[in-house]
Amino acid sequence: MQFPKLTLLQSRFSACLGTSILLFIIYYSISPSHFAYAAEIDSIHNEDHNHHRIPVLSDLQVAGEIDWEDVELDTSHSDGTAQYQAEFQGLSRGIIGRALENQFALKNNVPSSLNIRSGEVQYYVFENSSVWGNYSVWRTGLPEVIARGNQEIMWKRDIEAGAEEDGKGRLVRKQSGNEEERMVYISVNTCMQPQPPEGMTDVAPQLTLYVSQDDNNAKPGPDMAGSQQLFPLNEGYVEAKVNVTKNVYMSISASNTTAGQFAGEWNYVITASIDASYYYYNDTTPFLWTIDTDSTSALIATYNLTSENATNATLILRKEWMKMQVPFNMFVYNSSSPAVNGIRNSYCGLEKLEKFKVEGNMTERGPGSNPKQQFYIQDLKPGQKYTGLMTYNGVKRDETDSGSGIPGGGGQIWQAMEFTTKADGNCRVIFDLPFCTDVAYAVPTNPRNPDLSSAKTLALTYDNYSASLFTNFTWSLDQIPCNTTNSAQYSLARNCDDCARDYKTWLCAVTIPRCTDFSLTNPFLAPRNIGQSFPNGTKPDLAQFALNSTMLNHLHYNSSRNPMIDDVIKPGPYKELLPCKELCYDMVQSCPMALGFGCPKQKDFLAMSYGDFDRGAIAVEGENAVTCNYLGVDWPTLSAGTAIGSSTLSLMMAAVVSLSLVV
């Protein structure tokens, strides 16, 4: 067969093509088979034991098991992406650890949440690279860290190590170049737990945290005999602080339970941190006190958030606190509810309970104008005991912010405190009045009156009446030469401003009486409206309350202190916590004699109109045992020994009171 005749150009192309094919065959035959491009590494990672990977946590939760290999991914980025992170800090202290099979590697301040079954043990490691990583940036959100004794008003941080600004106004822990060991904070919260059969009140056993720093005991637990520490959870919470130099190994163990004894699994969150506990429970103080309650709501406040010292720095801090949105919140639950058993100290556990309506705002009410936050809790039931816990999670910017990667991002709760709602329904809490600004307690009301259906309407009814009476007083005070020389003033110790202030306090106390249940038997309470009916239409059994029918003819017992209450409010039977007699003494001492003010001289008359401040009762029973109504006073402060009133308690006035509002 005759081949076609090629041109010169075609001949050259054929020669080059044949040579190229021959060279490719030779190169391929001698090339090492283990060469690979970087993009191909994932396809052969099982053959390369220096290539580590960590599966995504959500995949682990679905699969129910963990198949660990050894790659390190940084999953703490704000955008949620996972990026390769080569960490070599601390290499001189030991080989960088690798997670074992069925062992999850925790990252600094990044929580891990898993379900665990009865008898199961789940394993974790906080690797050397994380132990010796950089400290995290803090989100404070509060004007200052307030520490009084062992109380701290924010999540717990390592105060001893201190903090410094990073140049951008953010707080970071101080770095030290000669550290020999680091504190690691391990915190665990039980979010859900197995439930007993219906009708039973048994509580599932608490989970247990095991911690080991021994490489030979990389999976600590109940069946391990190696070196390890045991930390049982208490009501769903535990915090372990350990000084470490390398890997920290941990496990969560669930006790074996009898078949059919409980249904479901535990769900928990575990977090390790070199900065502070991710979750924190403050067991030293509730930092709350009950101002007052009615049958469906409660008014509760924090202690003062600034000190009593009126320095420039304190005044600045007070302004900063008052400019804040409410920094704290409250968990509230019925004290008899079995749902809280086993998780009382757990932030995530309490967060899953039924929520009550809680409104909060900042206030400076009280002596010294110290900022505090008050909580108005609604939708409660009459005559029930409730438990409240103050919480702080200001590190979260909004509801979509998980707090992951942030020191203290899990939140803090304080010690629980209890309060009880009133039973009768004839009292209602009012506060933040425009004129009588120091009024914050339950007052007589009539739930059957549709015109007084809201607390705001009721508050304005009382407040407007008091303000109108004060206007009449100012006309009389205007007749007094207030702005004159010292020698011409009515007093060298007081002036007209003092008189107006103390008269206003007295006026608000006597026109807006403090109301409590008729069924209470405390001797310092005055029965009012004993001939009227309760909201349910029944009348009180007078003999049951050590009263008699002759008292029905006595104005003191069968009416209210303020005539407007009987004419407009028309409440049923209630008992009044009388104003403190010091309010009368202060007013008389501050105002000019020309106004004719005076307090009852005879002891019996004084006792009918005013109450005595009993510091001993408060010291024994707390602020809930207040024995008279002193407007604007912080009762926790008084129980600590602060003086009450600006006048001498033993001051007795010779004049008889001529004020018609004192019954």
**Do 46-134+175-277 and 282-420 show the same overall fold?**
no
Each as own residue / partner, the long-range contacts of residues 218-224 (CB below 8 Å, 24 or more positions apart, any chain) are 218/100, 218/103, 218/123, 218/125, 218/247, 218/249, 219/100, 219/103, 219/121, 219/123, 219/249, 219/251, 220/249, 220/250, 220/251, 221/121, 221/123, 221/251, 221/253, 222/121, 222/253
pTM of the model: 0.77
Residue with tokens 């490719």: 24
Residue 31, phi-psi category: left (phi > 0), alpha (psi -120 to 50), beta (remainder):
beta
Residue with tokens 């404070």: 140
Name the CA radius of gyration of the chain, rounded: 36
pLDDT, one tens digit per residue, over 280-295 is: 998 888 989 999 999 9
Nearest-angstrom CA–CA distance, 186 and 196: 29
Mean of pLDDT values over 622-627: 65
- Lowest-confidence segment of 287-296, 476-485, 508-517 by average pLDDT: 476-485
- Reported in sequence order, the residue ranges of 353-476 that DSSP labels E, i.e. its strands, are 357-363, 372-378, 385-392, 411-414, 417-420, 427-430, 441-444
- pLDDT of 346 reads 96
Phi, psi of 452 (to 5 degrees): -115, 30
Q: Are 581 and 611 in contact (CB under 8 A)?
A: yes
Kindly state the tokens that stand for 115.
């379900």
Q: Using the predicted structure, report yes or no on whether residue 98 has a pLDDT greater than 80.
A: no
What CATH number has the domain spanning 46-134+175-277?
A: 2.60.120.380
pLDDT, one tens digit per residue, over 83-92 is: 333 343 333 3
Mean of pLDDT values over 590-596: 91
Confidence of residue 99 (pLDDT cuts 50, 70, 90): low
Residue 219, phi-psi category: left (phi > 0), alpha (psi -120 to 50), beta (remainder):
beta
- pLDDT of 172 reads 59
Mean of pLDDT values over 421-432: 94
pLDDT, one tens digit per residue, over 433-461 is: 999 999 999 999 998 888 888 899 999 99
Kindly state the tokens that stand for 102.
């069925």
Phi, psi of 469 (to 5 degrees): -70, -35
Kindly state the tokens that stand for 376.
């108005």
372-378: strand order across its sheet: 288-293, 298-302, 372-378, 357-363
The domains of the chain are located at: 46-134+175-277, 282-420, 427-639
Nearest-angstrom CA–CA distance, 427 and 130: 57
Mean pLDDT taken over the chain: 78
Nearest-angstrom CA–CA distance, 170 and 141: 10
Confidence of residue 373 (pLDDT cuts 50, 70, 90): very high
Q: DSSP code of 295?
A: S
> What is residue 432's three-state secondary structure?
coil
Neighbours of 617 (CB within 10 A): 17
Q: Are 346 and 189 in contact (CB under 8 A)?
A: yes
Please tell me the class of the 282-420 domain.
mainly beta
Residue with tokens 């283990």: 34
Confidence of residue 307 (pLDDT cuts 50, 70, 90): confident
